[in-house]
């Protein structure tokens, strides 16, 4: 979306291809050693390790080795530098992430200086926010005459290298916002490969976030189809894909289909921007939130305040006491920030998620618990003609659970058509689901939502048998 003086270029450091390959091989060897040993252990919060964010399959993982799911808002800093308190306000509302709009100097809103970027990073850390920095000048390149290219954006990042080096545990770099418009969206693939490659040549080891073409909405499915090519081009294997969901995603099924595609490829995805309405069209925001929650997909709402169209403001006049209906949906809905966000463990122990501020407008129907090592429930969270979505939770009743197997039998015609975060098999009406490793552990006396599915037929919530394995 779009509504100081230029820096003196800081000293540059280039990582040679040989050094990059050596680092990649060492990291790969270490990862394989862990896999073959059958070891997967999360580092306790507060025990910060060296390094930064990384990608493990579809999951963004923080510097402590713990999965991190973004729940955040966007602050348009380049246009509103007098609203620095917004970082603290966004954090106070429960967000764990803030996406920050920067200017590279190619558009008429000016350049975000290295000194300002340093202030932003320091403030994000002070507010316990993960900072996603993005260059906005690339918006609509190829269609917007004044837009910067991704290569020009990388040149801007090169000038920030000395500021961002060492911040890999707190900062992700969104190379360019909505970098290709609707004119020749196919150019996105090579331009993105080249940008990622050049960022690594400069020496950046951060997780790199790449936005889709078509003004971020990828209605031509260019990013969806070519994501494996871009992922393979990163020698560090540390690229995160970002789709912006506006009016193209007006129906729940378009959201589900897009999420399904990345899950099937085993590639990481976030919703880097979305709103509840856009340009007069309703966006399937409830599906974005519920599906993202069920699948462990991060999202960032656009934007906190200051839009030319105030329908996109989460609060009016940068005042958290003037929260809009849209803001309530971002921060206080059932699957909004206040109910689902958890701080990155690099900031230590935290009681998040916060106490729910709202309840579902309709009580979900759940299957009853059974006796055994653990209990499980199916919750029907949404339905539509001919189908519905179910989420499954596991409760550890008698000591901690380090792995689970669930079984149930449909009483009627319901059948699962797709699922996520479980190893699931079905034979007729009989279903068996097992954990996939990272979601195996449930603390004693605690409940955890572990996976979700889409089913055909009428909504059913059968009794589920849970076995600790």
Q: Which residues are catalytic?
A: 178, 273
Other CB atoms within 10 Å distance of the CB of residue 194: 15
Residues 6 or more apart whose Cβ sits within 8 Å of residue 445: 396, 397
How far apart, in whole angstroms, are the C-alpha atoms of residue 25 and residue 235? 9
How far apart, in whole angstroms, are the C-alpha atoms of residue 465 and residue 182? 50
Q: What does 156-221 look like in DSSP terms, one character per residue?
A: HHHTTHHHHTT-TTTEEEE--SS---SSSGGGHHHHHHHHHHHHHHHT--SPEEEE-TTTTT-TT-
- Do the Cβ atoms of 283 and 275 come closer than 8 Å? yes
CA 335 to chain CA centroid, nearest Å: 14
How far apart, in whole angstroms, are the C-alpha atoms of residue 246 and residue 311? 13
How far apart, in whole angstroms, are the C-alpha atoms of residue 384 and residue 227? 30
Residues 6 or more apart whose Cβ sits within 8 Å of residue 69: 60, 296, 297, 298, 340, 342
Residue 50 corresponds to which tokens in the numbers above? Answer: 């060296």
First to last CA, the chain: 47
Encode burial over 443-457: b for 16+ CB neighbours within 10 A, e otherwise.
Answer: eeeebbbbbbbbbee
How far apart, in whole angstroms, are the C-alpha atoms of residue 251 and residue 401? 38
Give which of 10, 53, 19 is closest to 158, Cα–Cα: 10
Residue 101 corresponds to which tokens in the numbers above? Answer: 């709009």
Q: Look at the chain and count its residues.
A: 469
- Do the Cβ atoms of 197 and 171 come closer than 8 Å? no
In 281-410, the DSSP E strands lie at 281-282, 298-301, 374-384, 387-396, 404-409
């Amino acid at each position: 979306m779009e509504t100081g003086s230029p820096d003196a270029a800081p000293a540059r450091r280039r990582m040679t291809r040989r050094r990059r390959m050596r680092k990649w091989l060492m990291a790969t060897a270490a990862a394989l050693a862990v896999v073959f040993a059958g070891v997967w252990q999360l580092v306790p919060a507060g025990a910060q390790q060296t390094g930064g964010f990384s990608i493990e399959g579809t999951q963004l993982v923080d510097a402590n080795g713990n999965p991190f799911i973004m729940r955040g808002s966007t602050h348009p800093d380049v246009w509103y530098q007098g609203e620095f308190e917004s970082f603290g306000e966004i954090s106070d509302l429960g967000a764990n992430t803030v996406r920050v709009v920067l200017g590279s100097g190619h558009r008429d809103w000016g350049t975000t200086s290295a000194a300002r970027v340093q202030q932003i990073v320091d403030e994000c850390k002070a507010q316990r926010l993960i900072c996603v920095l993005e260059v906005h000048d690339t918006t609509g390149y190829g269609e917007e005459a004044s837009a910067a290219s991704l290569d020009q954006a990388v040149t801007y990042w090169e000038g920030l290298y000395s500021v961002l080096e060492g911040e890999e545990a707190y900062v992700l770099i969104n190379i360019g916002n909505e970098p290709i418009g609707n004119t020749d969206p196919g150019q996105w693939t090579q331009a993105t490969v080249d940008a990622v490659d050049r960022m690594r040549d400069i020496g950046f080891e951060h997780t790199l976030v790449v936005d889709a073409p078509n003004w971020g909405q990828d209605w031509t499915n260019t990013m969806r189809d070519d994501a494996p090519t871009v992922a393979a081009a990163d020698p560090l294997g540390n690229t995160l894909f970002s789709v912006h969901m506006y009016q193209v995603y007006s129906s729940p099924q378009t959201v589900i289909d897009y999420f399904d595609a990345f899950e099937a490829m085993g590639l990481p995805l976030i919703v880097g921007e979305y709103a509840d309405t856009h340009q007069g069209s309703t966006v399937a925001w409830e599906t974005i939130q519920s599906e993202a929650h069920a699948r462990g997909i991060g999202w960032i709402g656009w934007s906190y305040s200051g839009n030319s169209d105030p329908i996109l403001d989460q609060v009016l006049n940068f005042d958290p006491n003037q929260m809009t209906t849209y803001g309530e949906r971002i921060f206080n809905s059932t699957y909004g920030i206040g109910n689902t966000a958890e701080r990155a463990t690099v900031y230590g122990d935290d009681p998040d998620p916060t106490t729910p501020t709202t309840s579902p407008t309709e009580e979900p129907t759940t299957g009853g618990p059974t006796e055994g090592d653990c209990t499980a429930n199916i919750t029907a969270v949404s339905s539509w003609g001919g189908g519905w979505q179910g989420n499954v939770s596991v409760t550890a009743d008698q000591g901690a659970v380090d792995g689970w197997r669930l079984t149930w039998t449909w009483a009627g015609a319901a059948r699962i058509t797709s699922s996520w975060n479980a190893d699931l098999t079905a034979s007729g009406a009989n279903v068996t689901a097992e954990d996939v490793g990272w979601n195996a552990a449930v603390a004693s006396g605690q409940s955890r939502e572990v996976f979700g599915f889409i089913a055909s037929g009428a909504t059913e919530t059968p009794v589920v048998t849970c076995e600790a394995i």
